Structure 1
Amino acid sequence: MNTLFKAFLLLMASMMASITLAATEPKQMLQSAADNIISYLKENQSKLAENPQLSVDLVKKELVPYIDQEALGRRVLAKEWRTATPQQQQQFVELFVDLVIDTYAKGLAQYNNQTFEFEDTEYNDKMTLARVKSQMNQTDGEPVKIDYLLKKPKGLDEWRVVDVRIEGISMANSYKNQFAQQIQNEGLQSVLDKLAKKEITLDQTNAN
């Protein structure tokens, strides 16, 4: 498994921590989450390797509260979001998030003593958008640069991740390109049907 793909897997997993952290300062939230998940991985790595479903259940329970699911769905579906029905929008968000969970849960067993360093949070003028730059230090390679993009959804005083960029590569844009091609070839409803049947996997070539 290549370095950047492992980074995607581990960084999505590193968002796991107590939901009480959701309203705190982004850097503090990310650092605490990373510390907690690394501690958990060190204690339970063998169990996760032996029981993949344990990883899936753990991510479903702990990761989802940190993601602005609708914002991520909008970014990935892009222009197709505007022409989709409300039912199709909701279905895509739910099925896409499930696909991300299933994909990145597998990364929990890939931990190899990586550590994370986070820079101070950068905010926009209205304090509604935040970016936290960080790097993943590896025992067998160069550090990997990571940016977390976070927003406060309307009506909530809690930060949610809307994108993760690894060495400048946007996760949301990578998957937007994949789904745009599939939707162009087959139509949105066909893609939704395939997602429901778990016939689509996330293309990791752009994460290399």
Structure 2
Amino acid sequence: MKLMKHAITALFALLLSMPAWAADSGPKAAIESTVTEIIHVLDVRADKTRLTPADREVISKTVEGKFGYAAMAKRSLGKPWNDLKKDEQVHFTAVFREHLERSYGDQLSKYKGQTVTFADAEMKGDKARVMSKVIDGSRETPVEYSLYQTATGWQVYDIRIEGSSMVRTFYQDFQSTLDKGGYPELLKTLEEKIAKHKEKD
């Protein structure tokens, strides 16, 4: 769907520019620095059309701590989050993360040298917004990153591309399933999607 494609494009842009973030890094610096490990993985692949399980593992470890997965999962799920026990919240966050990583991984495998430019961060307390553009030939796509500061550094909690919120996109996708079968049905659906992705590996 269009909104999901936008969200994946934003994540693709972020991965092409993400650093090994430090606690004292500013939000712009945190996003702007190139992740040489990820680019290296993409450049040295024998098969430039896909990511192998090993490629995915390297990328997953590289982005560890850069996304506020729990915050993103909570916002994407909405009210049902508060009805979950702590261990259920942890489990849903893990499933949400894998679903997210496998979705953007499929798009990341299509890397062909796109570039990203950034504007200065707009600060408001412990939160920040960084505007950027993804440049692919003659096409420029605006991408906005929302971050919050933690004890270990800046983490992304939402991304907007051409005005479409990634978290809002997931929320809308999830609500249709929640309306039909509640949380158990949503969890089952996400796990089935993950399983199908794994079959492709």
- 1:50–1:71 distance in 2 versus 1, CA, 3 Å: closer
Is 1:103 aligned with 2:113? no
Larger strand proportion of the pair: 2
Amino acid at match of 2:27: P
Instruction: State the SS of the aligned residue for 1:159.
Output: strand
2:143 maps to which of 146, 156, 163: 146
Q: Tell me which residue corresponds to 1:205.
A: none
Aligned residues: 194
Instruction: State the SS of the aligned residue for 1:117.
Output: strand
How much has 1:6 moved relative to structure 2? 6.3
Instruction: State the SS of the aligned residue for 2:171.
Output: helix
- 1:182–1:23 distance in 2 versus 1, CA, 3 Å: farther
How much has 1:51 moved relative to structure 2? 4.7
Q: How does 1:48-63 map to 2 (within 5 A)?
A: 49=49, 51-63=51-63
> Hey, what's the Cα distance between the residues in 2 that align with 1:148 and 1:201?
30
> Hey, what's the Cα distance between the residues in 2 that align with 1:67 and 1:199?
19
Is 1:176 aligned with 2:132? no
Is 1:166 aligned with 2:157? no
Q: Tell me which residue corresponds to 1:120.
A: 120
Instruction: State the SS of the aligned residue for 1:112.
Output: coil
TM superposition score normalised by structure 2: 0.83
> Hey, what's the Cα distance between the residues in 2 that align with 1:42 and 1:190?
35
Instruction: Check conservation: 1:151, 1:161, Cα contact below 8 A.
Output: yes
Q: Considering only aligned residues, what root-mean-square deviation do their CA atoms show, in Å?
A: 2.8
Amino acid at match of 2:10: F
> Hey, what's the Cα distance between the residues in 1 that align with 2:102 and 2:23?
23
Amino acid at match of 2:16: S
How much has 1:68 moved relative to structure 2? 0.8
Amino acid at match of 1:144: T
Instruction: Check conservation: 2:32, 2:118, Cα contact below 8 A.
Output: yes
Instruction: State the SS of the aligned residue for 1:151.
Output: strand
User: What are structure 1's unaligned runs of at least 5 residues?
Assistant: 203-208
> Hey, what's the Cα distance between the residues in 1 that align with 2:166 and 2:195?
17
Instruction: Check conservation: 2:17, 2:32, Cα contact below 8 A.
Output: no
Is 1:69 aligned with 2:64? no
Is 1:195 aligned with 2:190? yes
TM superposition score normalised by structure 1: 0.80
> Hey, what's the Cα distance between the residues in 1 that align with 2:41 and 2:146?
24
> Hey, what's the Cα distance between the residues in 1 that align with 2:117 and 2:156?
18
User: What are structure 2's unaligned runs of at least 5 residues?
Assistant: none
Which digits, 9 at most, give the CA deviation of each residue in 1:17-49, with x for residues without a partner?
Answer: 335x45411111211135x36742663254453
